[in-house]
Amino acid sequence: MGALLATIGPFEIAVFLVVFVLLAAWLYLPQPTRPGRLWEDSRPSSRPRRGSSPNSAARWRAAGRGEVVRLSSPIEPRIIDAAPTLAAPNFAAPSPAPGVIDPAEQLRAVMAAPFTAKRVLSRTEANVMLAAEAAIAEAGLSWRVLAQVSLGEVLASSDKAAFNAINAKRVDLLIVSGISEPLAAIEYQGEGHWQGTAPARDAVKKEALRRAGVGYIEVTPAHGPDDLRREVARLAMTLAAAGRLREADSAHRGRPGGGADAGQAGDRAGVGGPRAA
């Protein structure tokens, strides 16, 4: 043994130390050199495993190499590369756009659901409509009054955002000419109308109608049918002055004496009068 040690020189000792250091590094230090996942083995073991030393996870994170995953299943620790994988092509039919429902689905939903009819106008709004029709007939005009009209059906705009702002809004009543040209909107403002955002919504409708040259008449419980007659007459004079009152609109189509009967009908309606805007 002494003779063997005598033959070992400094070179042999240096080679032995280098091999020992490399072996220790291979056993106790994480080996990956590119981003990926470090799999730590959480199973009890009598000997340390590669990549599972207590400080290896901290060193892995500090080096910015990727995610540390602890293993509880009986498999060997291994390194999984984090390179992205390409998803398999999807040849399925494209799904419909949000909000678009197949007509067949709509029909099935309608056939399975109950429906009931409801009033288009409240009782007071219906009285306003009767009074407006009576005032128009008394003035000898052939105008008509429509109920619950969507502004998107009577107004147009090249500005999509502005149009969307009024598209779903409605007016209680709309006076139209003999050729269905919108002339004036009538809105009944009841006692509890001015709540929440109602004033702002009304302002949007009023401005859109004004810019389109359509009148706006507010009816409140504080007025009488005579006020509505005056507003109809004022509207006719305004349209005549602007050259918008057609001959067909001013042709009275009622029976003789119909004007007086129409006025009496307006009195019977018992509605509040208007306030022009």
Which three-class secondary structure state does DSSP give residue 171? strand
Q: Is residue 256 situated within a structural domain?
A: yes
Q: Give residues with Cβ within 8 angstroms of 123, minimum separation 6.
A: none
Angle between helices 160-167 and 198-211 (to 10 degrees): 120
Q: Is residue 136 situated within a structural domain?
A: yes
Q: Is residue 16 situated within a structural domain?
A: no
Q: Is residue 102 situated within a structural domain?
A: no
Q: In terms of domains, do 183 and 257 share one?
A: yes
Which three-class secondary structure state does DSSP give residue 35? coil
66-71 and 36-41 beta bridge pairing: parallel
Question: Whose CA is closest to 123, among 216, 190, 181, 223?
Answer: 190
pTM of the model: 0.56
Q: Is residue 221 situated within a structural domain?
A: yes
Q: What whole-number distance in Å separates Cα of residue 267 and Cα of residue 265?
A: 5
Alpha-carbon torsion (68, 73, 77, 80), positive or negative: negative
Q: In terms of domains, do 175 and 62 share one?
A: no
Q: In terms of domains, do 142 and 260 share one?
A: yes
pLDDT tens digits for the chain (277 residues)? Answer: 556 556 677 777 888 888 888 887 777 666 554 555 545 544 454 444 554 555 666 666 666 665 655 555 555 555 555 555 656 666 555 555 555 578 899 899 899 999 999 999 999 999 999 999 999 999 999 999 999 999 999 999 999 999 999 999 999 999 999 999 999 999 998 876 666 788 899 999 999 999 999 999 999 888 788 999 999 999 999 999 888 887 657 654 444 344 444 344 334 334 444 555 5
Count structural domains, the chain: 2
Long-range contacts of 120-127 (CB under 8 A, 24+ apart): 120/147, 120/148, 121/147, 121/148, 121/172, 124/188, 124/190, 124/221, 124/271, 124/272, 125/172, 125/173, 125/188, 127/269, 127/270, 127/271
Is 212 within 8 Å of 250 (Cβ atoms)? no
Q: In terms of domains, do 75 and 174 share one?
A: no
Q: Which domain holds residue 71?
A: 33-81
Q: Is residue 172 situated within a structural domain?
A: yes
Q: Is residue 112 situated within a structural domain?
A: no
Which tokens is 83 given? 């390179």
